[in-house]
Structure 1
Amino acid sequence: MDADLSRQALNANLRLVAGGDRGALQAVYDATSSKLFGVVLRILNDRSEAEDVLQEVYISVWTKAGQFDESRASPITWLAAIARNRAIDRQRQVGRRVSRPIEDAGEVADDGEDGLDAVLRAETSTRLDGCIAELEDQQQKALKTAFFDGRTYEDVATLFGVPTGTMKSWIRRSLIKLKACLGG
């Protein structure tokens, strides 16, 4: 197929892709995938990453085909620009990844919570729940509203229909009781 006919066919197929024609997308893929794969592979130098990026390229073509303007660029130039940009984006992502050999796994810090910390946290939470349950109903509600819902003393006072000073006193007395209950 001569270059002009190929260009016309790509232009026509991209217009059809913009209208949701899957067959036209397949035709665009068949005509351009090897060239675009070469572009992506040269940038990434990793076949697996390049294959993933090529898939993303055609997803972009599917969603952005309506933006293609044949008066501004040839279809292959437009497609190659999408491929190049996707590959560069992936290269930036891959460049940020830090990988170490599996043999170093014993030396890699685990930022996750260890089992003992999880048990202690759960025990503390259970104790706190028990201590809150010992408070009067109104104190429980005020304390939970202030601290667990993140409301101000003024907001809580308004909700309970009491002066702000009264609410501050309720919450302060509740906190003193909690501290004593928790052994602090």
Structure 2
Amino acid sequence: MEEHVAVLAADDHDRPAGRAERKGGGAVTTLPHRGGVRADLETVFRYAYPRVVGVAARVLGSRDEAEDVAQEVFLTFGRSAVPAGEAMGWLSVAAAHTALNHLRSGRRRAAREEYVRERDAVAADTADAVVTLDERRRVRAALARLPRRQAVALLLRHSGLSYAEVAAALGLSPGSVGTTVRRAESALRKELNRHASSD
């Protein structure tokens, strides 16, 4: 399964404002801060931005789009009351959720098709480029069909978070993370096989 999830990182080059999701999927009520933005936003942004972009890029396959997702996530975080000690986990989960929302919404389709056309036009071996892009598309589409909790657990684990970090971010016991990730990998494999056989 590593190879399938690794495909999502190979080209790594909607939630309303005022609400956000916490570990268990519950909402964090946002609170206004002085000036409307929490005081620690810049500090948290500096250390968490690379991970937030990395998680989103693994889903979307585009650094530019991942940076757009990171902007959304940090805007929501800036108005939230998420404790600073929970920021990294919260931001990682929010990045995965927001990127999956973008993936599922279909808003990216026109931009993706244009990107594929341009990339194929300059590729040294167009056939290889198309096969690679098609494989990434299939993996992302299968990931978007997984139950949200499984998809997020899989994304976080394969984005470099430790079992303990995934557990903290999703409100799971550390011992259950491995089982959750294995089930997600199995579900992803089944989705890929099911759609491959129907093509």
Which TM-score band applies after superposition, normalised by the shorter structure? Answer: 0.3 to 0.5
TM-score of the two chains, using structure 1 as the length reference: 0.38
TM-score of the two chains, using structure 2 as the length reference: 0.35
Instruction: Pick the structure with greater CA Rg.
Output: 1
